[in-house]
Every structure is written in C-alpha cells, then in structure tokens.
Amino acid sequence: MNAPCPQDATPIGAVTRRNWLIAGAALPFAASALAQEAPASSAASSPAAGSAAGSAPVSSACSASAATRHARDFILGADLSTLDAVERGGARFTTADGRSGTALQILRAAGINWARLRLWHTPINAADVIEGDRIVSRHGEPVGGGNNDLALTLALAKRIQAQGMKWLLDIHYSDFWTDPGKQAKPAAWARLSGKALQDAVERYTAEVLTALHRQGTDPDMIQVGNEINGGMLWPDGKTWRETPDEQIGGDDSFRALLAAGIRGVRATDRLRGARLPVMLHLAHTGDGQSGALFRRVYDQFEAAKLDYDVIGLSWYPYHHDDFTQLRANLRDLSDRYGKPLVVVETAYGWQPDNPGGGPAVFNREGAERGGYPATPQGQADMLRDLVQAVAAVPNGLGVFWWEPAWMNVPGAGWRTGDGNGWANQTWFDAQGRALPALKAFRESAPCR
C-alpha cells in the first residue's frame, strides 16, 4: 500500500523562518507566506491566499549585472507535476541541514515563486501497453507519469496557491506525454478532424479554465501545447512527414488548432477580469539548428497573428545545443519578437547514475556532453549559469526546473509498470535532503 501523502497530515518539523536563518539561508519573503501547507482535502484558495502569489522575493544575494527588464517579476520556477505520486510513494524531504517539511514548503521557503503543472486529457490506457513479450500495463489502468488529469491539477493548484506561489498550466492536448517526437490526440478525440477537432480544443480549454476559476485557483499563465516543434494533435496538426506518403494536416491545420486553443483561453478572460498570458513552447534541438527552427516557427506564428504573449523554450545541456547557441538564440528571440522569454524546462544530474538503480535519462555520457561535473556542485553551477544567461537578455523572464522533486519511490515511474529514470536530476538527494542547486537558483536571480 502506498504511504499517505504528507499533506494529508500535520507536516513534521514544519519549515519556519527561524529554521531557515539557522541554516544560513536568507529567507526571501514575508513570514505570512510560511504558514504550514494545508491538507489537500481542505485547502481553500481564497483571494487573500492568492494575493501574495509571485510577490518578489528579497534575497541578500542576487545578480546585479542582469540586463532583463523583468527583474522584479523574474520567475524561479519548478515543474511539480509528479508531486502527488511521489508523496504517495512515501518520499520525504528536508532542508540542506536536515529540517523536515513538504517539498512545497521547502521550495517556497528557498525562493521558488512559480510552479508548473502539466495537464493530460484522460490519462488512462486506451489499450494494453505491450513491449515485446512484456505486458507493461493493462487497458484501463492509469498511464503513470503523475496521472495528471484535471482532478489532480485542481488539487495541486490549491496547494501551490496556498503557499503564495504563482503557477503555469501546461496543457498537452493528449492523454500522455507530448514532445517533438510525439503528439498523440486524446482517445476521446480520435475520430475528430477539421473544424470538429478545433471546436473540441477550444471547448476543452475553456472548460478547464472555468473549472479552475470556480475553485478560485486561476493559473497565472497557460501553455497551449507542449514542445510543439512539429505541431500538435497528430496527424491533424503535424507539420512534418516521417514517410513520403504520410497524411498530415500541415502548417495551416497546426496554426488553426493553436488558434482554437487560444480562443478557449480568451473566452474565459472575462471570468478572471484580466488577460491570461499565453505561452507557446518549443524545444531546442541537438543539431545546431535551434535558432533556425525557432525563427521559422515563430515567424509563422507572427504572420498568422496568433494571440500569444510569452515564448517558452526547453533546453537540456546534455541533450540540446550548447550554451553558446542557447545564448545566441535567446538574444535573437528577444530582439526579433520583443516578447518575454522563459526557459520552461531544464535539468541536470547531481550524480551520473540512477540512485534507485536501473536506467537514467542523464548519465555519464550526458555529463560529458553537458560540460558540467555530475555532482551536486556541478548541477548548481549549471543552473547558475543558465539563470544568468536568461537574465542577460532584455526580455528574459525566468527559468523552470523540470521535476526537481521526482524522487525514486514506488508508484512514481515515468509510466505504469516502469521506473523513474529522472531521480538523479532532482534538487534533493536520495535521502530527500536539499542540494546546493536550490540555493544557487535564488542567488543567481537578478536583483529586484
């Protein structure tokens, strides 16, 4: 049986202002934000609770040389989509000096001011998952990887806002992972195409945002699609062919689907009484052509007059182009489009092996390619350099670390029936103790 989630009981050794000062950390926000995390079943997100979201942390250490015009609002973000699964698996977390708290408490006390949550349409296996002779999981079982449906997103949004954090909603428009190599339609939309699919995208987006609004947990930014280098909702919104005779919707259909999602966002602006910023998100590549890809795709978005506000990038130094090319792309995007830029996904390993055994996404080869030692300090140095690179361009808005709390515990694999190959890229070691990257993140942020 899975262990009860820590948020469903009184937190042990709750993080306090005194604890963090004893630990030698400058506390970056007011004491009112340090209330113990409310139980997920009873947390209420009142306007008062949300009013402190994104309040600028004040730290004794910061980067005074930043060029960004967004220093006061600079995002120090964490994708926490697997948090519920990790807690149910029994993970426990402590500060660097061993004081216990929930992951959210520790992250917020360390200066993290934004969270990111992915949303899958219906994360249930539409068929048996079989590889070779192995049945990985069965039809009707949860897909795993966090099982991020709307109900879970609502629950996590409550907890995030109760900590005084802003949050970014990342809608994948799929039942499972999407990235440049896969963008499957939800099973519920499998037979839809053309205007019927566009209407479903618009309606679903509006329904999700309406549900969040009724709960009192409006997101502070939204992604329409995830890593949409080659389109979304394939094959209808796919923009490239794997075989010469593959039937795809192409660029026009892709942009029409994006426009439908954005219309769903704009239809709910009246509920919030304010415009919700829309992010469109691409991933860097590893072939040295990231700059050309971003220009081609965002030029199309601009020509189509898509109503978006923020440019999002994925960049993993062990998988994508090097730092020189990232910096050049950030500068080009900032100058060319004049929109805020967020590196919305990044990570690096604090050791080269999976602490729970088995394969790891980041390994010794990745460390050689990434250019930083696979150590806690190497991880911190990489993050410091990245934050300063984003803050060095006029439109640099911030950075999100992808899944810093995805510990290696039972039931928290990347899919049902498999393990977690991400556990050496967290901000916590195998015992759940905070690593130096967490402090480095705060200290490398631009001075406010």
Confidence band for 5, pLDDT divided at 50, 70 and 90? low
Give the model's pLDDT for residue 350.
98
Residue 166, SS3 per DSSP: strand
Residue-wise pLDDT for 336-345, tens only, equals: 999 999 999 9
Give the model's pLDDT for residue 63.
74
Which tokens go with 157? 């949004």
pTM for this predicted structure: 0.88
Residue-wise pLDDT for 263-305, tens only, equals: 999 999 999 999 999 999 999 999 999 999 999 999 999 999 9
The one catalytic residue among 87, 345, 403, 443: 345
Q: Rounded to an integer, what distance in angstroms lies between the CA atom of residue 364 and that of residue 356?
A: 16
Residue-wise pLDDT for 31-41, tens only, equals: 233 334 444 43
Q: Rounded to an integer, what distance in angstroms lies between the CA atom of residue 45 and that of residue 160?
A: 9
The one catalytic residue among 37, 227, 403, 443: 227
Q: Rounded to an integer, what distance in angstroms lies between the CA atom of residue 286 and that of residue 45?
A: 42
Residue 223, SS3 per DSSP: strand
Quick check: is 202 catalytic?
no
Residue of higher predicted confidence among 211 and 66:
211
Quick check: is 207 catalytic?
no
Give the model's pLDDT for residue 44.
36
> H/E element holding 297?
helix 290-303
Residue-wise pLDDT for 113-124, tens only, equals: 999 999 999 999
